[in-house]
Structure 1
Amino acid sequence: MRFGIFFLVLAYMLSQFYRAFLAVLAPVLKTDVGAQPDDLAQASGLWFLAFALMQLPVGWALDKIGPRRTASVLLAIGGAGGAVVFAMAQTPLHINIAMALIGIGCSPVLMASYYIFARSFSPAIFATLASSILGAGILGNIASSLPLTWASQAFGWRETLYVLAGVTLLVSVAMFVFIKDPEALADEHVSKGSVLDLLKMPALWLIFPMMFVNYAAVAGIRGLWIGPYLGDVYGADAGTIGTAALVMSLAMVVGNFAYGPLDRIFGTRKWIVVIGNLGGAAAVFTLLLYPSHGIWVSVALMAAIGLFGSSFAVLIAHARSFFPPHLTGRGVTLLNLFGIGGAGIMQSLSGRVHGAALSGATDPAQPYQALFVFFGTATLIGVFFYMFSQDRTD
């Protein structure tokens, strides 16, 4: 089990890498492939949407055939295959296809881990385990910052993607070998119930809106807009953008590990999420008010967004406390559908917001101020609905 979880962490590092690396490659993709910021927003959104659409079939597969085959097969075909397509890309359309494939390949990895945690460990430590794998996995986010900048400059971005495709394939094979599926439930329990039973639970409906927007600002800024923003507003080069992305990624690592034990310390999940996301919204609106006050001020505020916006695992733990055991797989993937689907939709919409604000803008910061209004307002709307939810801990 330890080796299986180790390779799931490696797979999740790859997932974090793939969802965030476009921001760092934005300048070279513009030159070599003709991909504009709005094209990359669409490609990034397709990663999230493909990932989200896979959550319901992945949830069924986790409950029916287990995490070993579900995670390893999809990562091999979609993750490694999509990375090869990306390395061969000649147009923005090829980037779109590659990102959709990679999203499909990465879709089961985190939920396979959560499924194992929910079925094989004490419910009281679920949030801590879930946050820990998020924190460790975000090392992949770090790899998509300055290390990717160095590798693409030293070896070429296409060659780097081919190597990543090979690494992804090796990790998928290791998962197939080392992951052990939790002991099966009795057939009579497995055969009863579906995702519709989860949707009938009133307690979940006030969690869904927060889940929908919780990850949107972090994913949008770190995964896409940090590069164009720093380049357009401050004239930052690739090395500076890579460093800024690294700082924000490190803040996300700290945030995930910090959130993990808080539900046991304070005896609440709901108010941890509320306070944390209000802090994230405050950082977004501060960036709105001071969009060009200094590059490292902006980087510090984006790091705060990453720190406070890392409550994803606590939200999953909150919702998981309402799931019956035989619907654990479908439950965690349903929540992930809202989380990643929301990030994908917001990512795609953010490209339109940026494009609309760009028309007639007299200051390079104006289009990004529109983005900050978009992300900050969405977070506050999610918090508003979530404040009426039923708190529950294990």
Structure 2
Amino acid sequence: MGFIAVTTRILIFMIAVTVLPGLPPYPTFPSRPFSVKPARDLEGVLALNQLLNNAEHLLENKLIAPESILVRGNATFVSTYGGKIIEITNNDQLRIVAKFGKPCRSSYDERECGRPLGMAFDTQGNNLIVAEPYSGIWQIQIKTGAKMLLVSENTIIDGGKVSRPLKTPNGVAVDKNGDIFWSDTVSDVTFDNALIGLLMNPSGRLLQHNRSTGKSRVLIDEVYGANGVALSKDEGFVLVGELGGQQIRRYYLKGPKAGTDDIFIDGLPGAVDNLVSDESGVWVALAIAVDKQNPSPLALLAPYPNVRRFCVRMMTILDLSFEFIYEKTGSLLALRISNFIGNLSSLKAFISDRGSILRLDWEGNIVAALFSDDGSANLISHAVQSGDYLLLGSPIHPWMGRVRLSQEVLQIVSTGSKNMGKLKPEVIVDTKKQKLISKQEL
């Protein structure tokens, strides 16, 4: 068969997969072109540095994919692969606070054995509020591990552009009254196929769960990969990070703009994961590094709905085929391939090795940026301050990272935007001592 004939058949097949009606998956919103604002230039406050280099790897091979981290006193709580919430106390003592799902057979079994993501301390008792993407939003008593399901999987959430079920709960935050703000990353697929969901049109949501009524409502719809959630210090607004949109959106809870939303900051140099707030600002973990020379594949494909539809349908057909093989034969290899197709972790081989964390003030200004280029701290899902250190979570690595913050960064963090611009390109990084040396000191 000649080259032209083969090429013609391939093109016919691709067109058929793209345009034939009735093929899965079935998106909430029709395919349309949209755009993602390009990443900002890595200059000024975003100039590359090595402040995350030489990160310590704590509890290696004891914490698998520590997605989210909470610190209270001498205790650190971590959500990990395998459905576990783990408490770490002095001398690195580990205690399993709670377990979701069944026992894991391997790293490709998360739909059955659980994958808790976002966590927050409750304000209505000694509890954790946890988003588990395969079952819902949970309340977990810290001492006993007793679990209470607050919003179950497939609960229909009314409001927004289209009423639809809960699908992939991810980030959480709790206000002083105990109400829960949480994100639903995509509406069309389960979390193990989140990449497929992101290649469709934006379908994520920011939601609020009222503890007194037990009802949830939609605050912002059509979020492009809804991820981390954080409340402002006065609880006047709530933020949600966009994994695919490389931006953070804001919903006003109080004041003259109450009930409306806008863009808090956009054009970020990476895919936004968890947000961690405190009095003076927000830590932003960028799970995937992006810049103008290395744009996000999701951003590049956003204006081309037909290309995205073809990719999504092909991935779904392959995924369903290997799921069918697994169900009929019990082949763990088929299960492993099915889990790999559409899983965000499958992007690992195609993304930059750079680690990236931003510090924002409450006006949406970037006041500090911390990077690594030695591979010791990358694929970062979470950054939370513990004394003079940052603890780093990851959706992939088998350890929790830790880096000491320089005095300059600590000062910026403590004072918010007052020292904005302190970290500039005219400083040189001493990677061994992890501190900044100005030109005047040389």
Task: Give TM class, smaller chain.
Answer: under 0.3
TM-score, with structure 2 as normaliser: 0.25
- The structure with more strand, counted as a fraction of residues: 2
TM-score, with structure 1 as normaliser: 0.27
* Structure with greater contact order relative to length (CA < 8 Å, sep ≥ 6): 1
Greater Rg over alpha carbons, structure = 2
